[in-house]
């Protein structure tokens, strides 16, 4: 009879460990979900082939964060986007809080120089994507004119 009583505890322990491992994977995959500054990769958006879609990708596509094999899915407010990215162009330090991704003033100059890099597309880059386990924020190059910090809405 003692063996029967142990099984619910063992099953409960396995469930708790699995949930903890799942939470850890999500946090490690997207460090911007943790407090503090984190290094994020910067990519250029290829505007010629990126598009806004009316419907999100299927369940598997959303789970993988992809529209298809080379296109990242992101939600910017009500807009559903399939983004084709060029890069990485480099890294900057960023924080995320209250639905905003913030890049400090000392990192804005780095973003401007990355936007000026040749990405191999005929058109100059108009938007940059900060990647942290997936698209975290969309930064318009026009917003990088000053030396002030940049704060943009976080992508869903």
Looking at per-residue pLDDT, the higher value among 55 and 126 belongs to 126
* Cα–Cα distance list, 71 to 44, 51, 105 (Å): 13, 10, 30
Looking at per-residue pLDDT, the higher value among 70 and 75 belongs to 75
Count, residues in the chain: 156
Task: Say yes or no to pLDDT of 114 above 70.
Answer: yes
Which helix (H) or strand (E) segment holds residue 68: the answer is strand 66-68
pLDDT by residue (tens digit) across 12-70?
777 777 776 665 555 455 666 666 788 899 999 988 888 888 777 776 655 655 677 77
Phi, psi of 120 (to 5 degrees): 85, 5
What is the C-alpha separation between 74 and 57, in angstroms, rounded?
Answer: 10
């Amino acid at each position: 009879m003692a063996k029967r009583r142990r099984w619910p505890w063992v099953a409960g322990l396995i469930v708790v460990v699995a949930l903890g491992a799942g939470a850890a994977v999500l946090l490690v995959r997207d460090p911007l979900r943790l407090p503090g500054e984190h290094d994020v990769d910067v990519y250029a958006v290829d505007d010629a082939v990126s598009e806004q879609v009316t419907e999100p990708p299927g369940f598997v596509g959303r789970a993988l964060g992809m529209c298809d094999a080379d296109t990242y899915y992101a939600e910017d407010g009500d807009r559903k986007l399939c983004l084709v990215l060029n890069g990485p162009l480099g890294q900057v330090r960023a924080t995320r809080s209250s639905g905003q991704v913030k890049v400090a003033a000392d990192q804005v100059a780095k973003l401007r120089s990355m936007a000026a890099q040749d990405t191999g597309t005929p058109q100059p880059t108009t938007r940059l994507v900060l990647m942290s386990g997936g698209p975290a924020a969309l930064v318009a190059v026009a917003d990088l004119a000053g030396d002030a910090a940049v704060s943009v809405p976080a992508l869903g």
